[in-house]
């Protein structure tokens, strides 16, 4: 039945390999559950849930600093609004295409369902490369992108946020243009600056949330983060705050990376070294190699940090960054846990290896849901015209991550093992599917 279903998906979403991968992973978990609950079969929920409610594709013309006219392609995939308005980030990266955004929007639907908040799922972005662009070029691009996007979004319709290549700077430019065109000051984007409607802890939330989720997983084994050696990939928003929280909780962080290579610091990163990384990546927009020069440690060109000895791996850069060989290396080197900060960072073969080895494997839609959760809290604060202090937001984030963990336990318990992948997929699915049943064939 799964094969038959996937055959249709591959045919009708031709060439969209990342989307096929995300659907296949979810369907493998939920198909047995659906068979036991024929109400979903009767309403054809699975066929409906994989079909985006709406996809918008648009031209983004802009003028570079040399006065040349440039064109990129912009997208917004509005995947599912059964439990709330579309919600999900924007990615600006040259690799962006429909397949990648559909996989991200699909993941987002079930992730948002797990958060316990009323958030539907969407994702968008452009095949724009922010690398090497001036602030003025970024601003002009963001303004052109929002000039079209604004007619499709709204604080109760679709609320974008950041993702790869979209951080505080881009959200500022996007928000400014939305406000100018619509003449309204509302919570239409999240990840805003704290002076103009942003939530405290939103920048930190994905990384912190991922660490809180890993803490919950370790607790089931009577274990903790104290003294654990952690390999973190990426050096952007998620990686930086994952590393910061790990260090604060007594773990050792030995690696970070970017798309050029990775650094290995056996003495561990510390808050001071992370301040250097934040300046390097967020302000100077430099390369992680410069960290190795500054702190005299090893840099590995074109490599990812999965060959180093570690207890816990935190893939926090991009999709499919851990393959079967990496997974085998991690297990061989004693890795007991994986917390996915990135979306779908492990290939299906790698996931299989982790599940077979029965290590604690926290899939992205559960482990990295802290970011969108605090986005939901930012929306709540905007609606109330209030802002909560950081302790309050952090406490709510912790509670949400614990609740997500509980939902995984609810559906993921197997003999002597917790299959978090199965747990997250089924729990995320049930809430959305039940809402779709309630709302009829729409
Ligand atoms: P950033 O743009 O802040 O950082 C991305 C990091 O990943 C950079 O170090 C970048 O390197 C590296 N990277 C990007 N693409 C590739 C690639 N193709 N190969 C190798 N390295 C790459 O993004 P975020 O930290 O926000 O996002 C990281 C991951 O976390 C993504 O998968 C995203 O979808 C996911 N995520 C993000 C959330 C958020 O709130 N921001 C929430 C939940 C998940 P370089 O500097 O060279 O570009
Ligand atoms: O993948 C994700 O969950 C995000 N990029 C954050 C989405 C959001 O709306 O905060």
Structure tokens at 272: 């001071």
Question: Does 249 lie in the same domain as 345?
Answer: yes
Residue 73 dihedral angles phi and psi, to the nearest 5°: -110, 125
CATH number for 216? 3.40.50.720
Q: Is residue 308 part of a domain?
A: yes
Which ligand 2 atom is the nearest neighbour of the CA of 202? 10
pLDDT score, position 157: 98
Task: Select from 126, 151, 184 the last residue of a domain.
Answer: 184
Q: Is ligand 1 within 6 A of the CB of residue 318?
A: yes
Tens digit of pLDDT for each residue in 199-240?
Answer: 999 999 999 999 999 999 999 999 999 999 999 999 999 999
Query: Distances from the Cα of 77 to the Cαs of 88, 89, 122, 178, 412, in angstroms?
Result: 9, 10, 5, 19, 29
pLDDT score, position 63: 98
> Exactly one of 87, 102, 123, 133 is catalytic; which is it?
123
Q: How many structural domains is the chain composed of?
A: 2
Question: Does 151 lie in the same domain as 12?
Answer: yes
Q: Is residue 194 part of a domain?
A: no
Instruction: Report if pTM > 0.95.
Output: yes
Which ligand 1 atom is the nearest neighbour of the CA of 166? 2
- Range 323-342 average pLDDT: 98
- With CA atoms as reference, report the closest residue to 145 among 156, 131, 130: 130
- With CA atoms as reference, report the closest residue to 103 among 378, 329, 364: 364
Question: Does 219 lie in the same domain as 177?
Answer: no
Tens digit of pLDDT for each residue in 19-48?
Answer: 999 999 999 999 999 999 999 999 999 999
Q: Is residue 411 part of a domain?
A: no
Is 123 in the active site?
Answer: yes
Task: Select from 358, 380, 402 the last residue of a domain.
Answer: 358
Share of the chain above pLDDT 90, in %: 99
Instruction: Write the DSSP symbol of residue 127.
Output: S
Question: Does 168 lie in the same domain as 60?
Answer: yes
Residue 307 lies in domain: 205-358
pLDDT score, position 56: 98
Question: Does 12 lie in the same domain as 77?
Answer: yes
How many C-beta atoms surround the C-beta of residue 286 within 10 A? 14
Question: Does 148 lie in the same domain as 6?
Answer: yes
Residue nearest atom 27 of ligand 1, based on CA coordinates? 164
Give ligand 2 pocket residues (Cβ under 6 A).
87-89, 108, 111, 161, 163, 190, 343, 371-372, 375
Tens digit of pLDDT for each residue in 167-176?
Answer: 999 999 999 9
* Contact by Cβ (8 Å): 346, 130: no
Instruction: Kindly identify the ligand whose nearest atom is closest to the C-alpha of 238.
Output: 1
At 300, the pLDDT band (50, 70, 90 cuts) reads very high
Mean pLDDT of all residues belonging to the chain: 98
Tens digit of pLDDT for each residue in 417-427?
Answer: 999 999 999 99
Q: Is ligand 1 within 6 A of the CB of residue 209?
A: no
- Range 80-106 average pLDDT: 98
Question: Does 132 lie in the same domain as 99?
Answer: yes
Q: Is ligand 1 within 6 A of the CB of residue 368?
A: yes
pLDDT score, position 61: 98
How many C-beta atoms surround the C-beta of residue 414 within 10 A? 11
Q: Is residue 432 part of a domain?
A: no
pLDDT score, position 1: 82
Tens digit of pLDDT for each residue in 176-197?
Answer: 999 999 999 999 999 999 999 9
Q: Is the pLDDT of residue 311 over 90?
A: yes
Q: Alpha-carbon distance 93 to 57, whole Å? A: 16
Q: Is residue 436 part of a domain?
A: no
Task: Select from 150, 184, 218 the last residue of a domain.
Answer: 184
Question: Does 293 lie in the same domain as 161?
Answer: no
Question: Does 111 lie in the same domain as 214?
Answer: no
Question: Does 211 lie in the same domain as 179?
Answer: no
Tens digit of pLDDT for each residue in 131-163?
Answer: 999 999 999 999 999 999 999 999 999 999 999
- For residue 393, the CA-to-ligand 2 centroid distance in Å is 17
Instruction: Kindly identify the ligand whose nearest atom is closest to the C-alpha of 377.
Output: 2
């Amino acid at each position: 039945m799964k094969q038959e279903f996937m055959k249709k998906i591959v045919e009708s979403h031709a060439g969209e390999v990342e989307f096929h991968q995300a659907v296949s992973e979810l369907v493998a978990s939920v198909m047995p559950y659906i068979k036991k609950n024929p109400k979903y079969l009767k309403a054809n929920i699975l066929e409906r849930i994989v079909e985006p409610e709406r996809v918008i594709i648009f031209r983004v013309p802009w003028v570079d600093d040399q006065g040349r006219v440039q064109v990129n392609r912009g997208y917004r995939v509005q995947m599912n609004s059964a439990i709330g308005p579309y919600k999900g980030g924007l990615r600006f990266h040259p690799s962006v295409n429909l397949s990648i955004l559909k996989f991200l929007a699909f993941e987002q639907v079930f992730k948002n369902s797990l958060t316990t908040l009323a958030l539907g799922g969407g994702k968008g972005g452009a095949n724009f490369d922010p690398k090497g662009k001036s602030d003025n070029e970024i601003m002009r691009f963001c303004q052109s992108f929002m000039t079209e996007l604004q007619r499709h979004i709204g604080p109760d319709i679709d609320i974008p946020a950041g993702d790869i290549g979209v951080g505080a700077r881009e959200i500022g430019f996007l928000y400014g243009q939305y406000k100018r065109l619509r003449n309204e000051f509302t919570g239409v984007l999240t990840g805003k600056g704290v002076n103009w409607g942003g939530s405290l802890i939103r920048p930190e939330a994905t990384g912190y949330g991922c660490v809180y989720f890993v803490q919950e997983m370790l607790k089931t084994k009577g274990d903790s983060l104290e003294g654990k050696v952690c390999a973190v990939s990426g050096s952007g928003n998620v990686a930086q705050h994952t590393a910061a929280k790990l260090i604060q909780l007594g773990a050792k962080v030995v690696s970070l990376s970017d798309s050029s290579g990775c650094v290995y610091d056996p003495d561990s990163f510390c808050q001071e070294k992370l301040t250097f990384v934040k300046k390097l990546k967020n302000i100077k927009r430099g390369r992680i190699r410069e960290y190795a020069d500054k702190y005299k440690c090893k840099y590995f060109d074109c490599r990812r940090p999965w060959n180093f000895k570690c207890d816990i791996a935190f893939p926090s850069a991009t999709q499919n960054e851990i393959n079967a060989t990496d997974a085998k290396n991690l297990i061989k080197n004693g890795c007991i846990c994986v917390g996915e900060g990135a979306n779908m960072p492990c290939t299906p073969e790698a996931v299989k290896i982790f599940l077979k080895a029965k290590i604690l494997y926290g899939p992205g839609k559960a482990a990295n849901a802290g970011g969108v959760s605090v986005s939901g809290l930012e929306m709540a604060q905007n609606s109330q015209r209030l802002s909560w202090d950081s302790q309050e937001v952090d406490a709510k984030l912790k509670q949400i991550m614990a609740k997500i963990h509980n939902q995984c336990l609810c559906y993921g318990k197997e003999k002597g093992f917790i299959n978090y992948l199965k747990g997250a997929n089924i729990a995320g699915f049930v809430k959305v599917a039940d809402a779709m049943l309630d709302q009829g064939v729409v």
